[in-house]
Amino acid sequence: MVTSVSSVFSHSSRIFHPNTLLYQHSDNFQSQCRLIPLLHRRSHLLRMNLTSPRGRETLNSRICASLTDASLDVSVEEKQLPKGETWSVHKFGGTCVGTALRIKNVADIIINDDSERKVVVVSAMSKVTDMMYDLIHKAQARDESYISAADAVLEKHNSAAHELLDGDELSLFLSKLHDDINNLKAMLRAIYIAGHATESFTDFVVGHGELWSAHMLSSVIRKNGTDCKWMDAREVLVVNPTSSNQVDPDYLESGRRLEKWYSLNPSKVIIATGFIASTPQNIPTTLKRDGSDFSAAIMGALFKARQVTIWTDVDGVYSADPRKVSEAVILKTLSYQEAWEMSYFGANVLHPRTIIPVMQYDISIIIRNIFNLSSPGTKICRSSINDDDEDIQNFSHFVKGFATIDNLALVNVEGTGMAGVPGTASAIFSAVKDVGANVIMISQASSEHSVCFAVPEKEVKAVAEALQSKFRQALDAGRLSQVAVIPNCSILAAVGQKMASTPGVSASLFNALAKANINVRAIAQGCSEYNITVVVKREDCIKALRAVHSRFYLSRTTIAMGIIGPGLIGSALLDQLRDQAAVLKEEYNIDLRVLGIIGSKSMVLSDLGIDLAKWRELREQRGEAADLEKFVQRVHGNHFIPNTVLVDCTADSIIAGHYYDWLCKGMHIITPNKKANSGPLDQYLRLRALQRQSYTHYFYEATVGAGLPIVNTLQGLLETGDRILQIEGIFSGTLSYIFNNFKDGRLFSEVVAEAKEAGYTEPDPRDDLSGTDVARKVIILARESGLKLELSDIPVESLVPEPLRASASAQEFMQQLPKFDEGMMKKQQDAENAGEVLRYVGVVDVTNKKGVVELRRYKKDHPFAQLSGSDNIIAFTTRRYNKQPLIVRGPGAGAQVTAGGVFNDILRLASYLGAPS
């Protein structure tokens, strides 16, 4: 049913001016059809020289109009609109109808949908709305390229139509398209001359993209044999503009117009234009940017449809922006309130007002991906107590998702004079309103001493000036102390309907932020508890987002790692990480990413993570000169991983000297390096104090017993209230091996040589035999026990003969060592004769506040005499374990064992940061 209206309304209610959009209304206009734009039937009128008196006179006397596609044939028998669940609404965005092929795909989806009746809301083809706005901007700027830009719009649709249509459908569409483009050029010429376009003029121009895409899609569906009508939504949707960027639908009037439209255009498939509507005065307007979703929701409410499906190019609503959190997951369901909150806080969910029309009738919204039909998408509906078991059991679902808003500033108005003074808040926000600023978030202390709120950064200068002016007298009198602006802020919002009935959600959120070393500048939470909003530094926003996302198990606990010292221990650790990486991800939800490896001469860095199967080759091929400062900056400076740990596998005191600064910057430290904890006492005390005051972690289990849980056991005893009396142990795997094998008449030098050959000793055995390493372990345990001792306070019995301590090299030392076997042989023989064995031990005498490292004799039935190989053994004598000491025994030396101890600390850190234990 398509006819061309040639009637001309000779009476004009408004006189044309180049910068004014004119409409002609007949007396019986609403009863016959809909708004009719003037300037349509004779486009050459506008192409006349509008500056000439004759041109103006001719135009004013010959304003004419026609319908855009189909006039209403009053002879058609009217049919009543059936409403209810037989209808489903589909909305396709610009990306979905961006090309001819995609329009065909949309048509297939509509045809194959098994709903009895369907309303399909379409946007303009992708980029077309921007192209239409560009036409307006070019014409206003008196840039004649608007003509070629209009031709580009024509060609885009002309090309698509030739691919999609043929016969009469093609001819009809092309005729309408060319007619519209000619009229638009005439309108744009008027704008060009005036240098200005009204809002109504602009809305009318940009709405053409939806008209063309709806016309084409309906033609494609009819071509496939399905009855289909298309609707210019300006005939039906009536809205009342409330501001420059918002309109309110008039559902009563829109419902009446829909009934009338359907009575004359009955069909089971209706293709409706999105984005566009009319005012009560029948002037074209829009639902503003991204308003097609809103159109679909309004249609759903008018038809009382079963559901509204929003087709887009993503699989659904994500738990966080996937561009910022790569591990973000698709949410199966959202309540109306959750979707509302997330859209308000910037999540790419829906048009912020889309939820309102469907809530009244409990209409579900489904977000689906047109490019992945296998994905079920996200369902937005009224919340139910009968949610699936996964949602009930999984703590993560108490917080459904996270959203962020960037480029904000905080404004803080504070002063003792505010307390108890009625109207202060009203005066503050009245001033903000006067400058047209948008308040994103408000937080007020219960003492009424201060009011803090967030506004877009581009508006904060005007807000601050307005407040300074408004409260100048109060500031001068001291009733207000300041109007402070805190720039460079971002908002992070956690959204979830179940947060309201779940204790501990806020605690978990802030705990995750604290552990990621994120400082919270302001907090807001409504009594409904649908969201918790925090303000953080802009540079911390992504880090904060990833930290809280990980905490609620919506993604893996990801830790950025820097390995310092890829020697024996470091290499073993890297190989262990390589072998276990997949298991940690799959079974324990832990993602350990080594972003840097640095040795004494070279380093290799990666922004995403080094391939640990090839780390040696990468270090050789892509290694650069070692630069510790650059290394730390790259590992910690990434904005995508919230937690950073530096693993120091060296024995370097210079590296240990950086621990305090690294911890201050929010980096965690894990190390087998004894130098920090056995160095100067004040350095150790500063580290421990910092660790207690912050949420950064400093783990050093491997400093004492390699892979044995010695430090952790000691800390557990102390934390549970036990009192340490004495710690005694064989702390050196090397010396344990030597004295376990120094028997049966063997020479001491022979056993030392054997240990060196087996790799148990340091390259220079004097480093082991001197007892310094054992002394460092003793001082670490002494300090952990509460003793304030320096390393120099520990007397050490060295096993290096005095004359050999100054030997030039390890080789010379080994050559000269046999000369001193006699003394050690005598000690061994004396012990043997007494039924005892020699053992090199370290002792922490907590009762007497001292420590010692020396060679001692033990009965052969003593636990220390039962060792084999390079085992360590440590005995804790405490108030609880007095008669029978608590003993820890096992391998205490070797790269693999030590690396395992370091690895265990890494996993302990991951557990503290939120990974399931």
Q: Tell me the Ramachandran region of residue 894: left when phi exceeds 0, alpha when psi lies from -120 to 50, beta otherwise.
A: left
| Helix residue ranges per DSSP H, 537-636 | 541-551, 568-588, 615-622, 628-636
| Contact by Cβ (8 Å): 780, 674 | yes
Determine which helix (DSSP H) or strand (DSSP E) holds 369, and give its type and residue range. strand 364-369
DSSP assignment letter at 498 = G
Q: Write phi, then psi, for 177 (nearest 5 degrees).
A: -60, -50
Q: Look at the block and give the residue holding tokens 């096992």.
A: 890
Rounded-to-integer distance, Cα 633 and Cα 643, Å? 13
- Tell me how crowded residue 78 is: count the other CB atoms within 10 A of its CB: 11
| Contact by Cβ (8 Å): 440, 491 | yes
| Helix residue ranges per DSSP H, 471-521 | 472-477, 505-515
Which tokens sit at 333? 């369901």
The CA–CA distances, whole Å, from 810 to 753, 765, 773, 775 equal 11, 7, 17, 21
- Tell me how crowded residue 139 is: count the other CB atoms within 10 A of its CB: 30
In the three-class reduction of DSSP (H, G, I as helix; E, B as strand; rest coil), residue 310 is classed as strand
* Torsion sign across C-alpha atoms 812, 814, 819, 820: positive
Rounded-to-integer distance, Cα 445 and Cα 443, Å? 7
| Contact by Cβ (8 Å): 52, 193 | no
Q: Look at the block and give the residue holding tokens 């009955």.
A: 266
Alpha-carbon Rg for the chain in angstroms: 39
Rounded-to-integer distance, Cα 276 and Cα 502, Å? 43
Determine which helix (DSSP H) or strand (DSSP E) holds 243, and give its type and residue range. strand 239-243
Q: Write phi, then psi, for 36 (nearest 5 degrees).
A: -125, 115
| Contact by Cβ (8 Å): 432, 439 | yes
| Active-site pick, 91, 185, 400, 777 | 777
| Contact by Cβ (8 Å): 591, 559 | yes
Q: Tell me the Ramachandran region of residue 247: left when phi exceeds 0, alpha when psi lies from -120 to 50, beta otherwise.
A: beta
Which tokens sit at 148? 């070629």
Length of the chain: 917
Rounded-to-integer distance, Cα 57 and Cα 49, Å? 11
777 is catalytic: yes
What is the DSSP annotation of 670-723?
A: E----HHHHS-HHHHHHHHHHHHHSS--EE-THHHHTTS-HHHHHHHHHHTT--
Rounded-to-integer distance, Cα 33 and Cα 45, Å? 24
Which tokens sit at 550? 């990980």
In the three-class reduction of DSSP (H, G, I as helix; E, B as strand; rest coil), residue 855 is classed as strand
Rounded-to-integer distance, Cα 571 and Cα 552, Å? 33
The CA–CA distances, whole Å, from 602 to 131, 610, 633, 672, 773 equal 53, 15, 16, 21, 28
| Contact by Cβ (8 Å): 577, 594 | yes
Rounded-to-integer distance, Cα 161 and Cα 220, Å? 9
Rounded-to-integer distance, Cα 322 and Cα 320, Å? 6
Q: Look at the block and give the residue holding tokens 């939470």.
A: 525
Rounded-to-integer distance, Cα 619 and Cα 594, Å? 13
The CA–CA distances, whole Å, from 735 to 23, 774, 830 equal 100, 10, 19
Catalytic site positions: 777
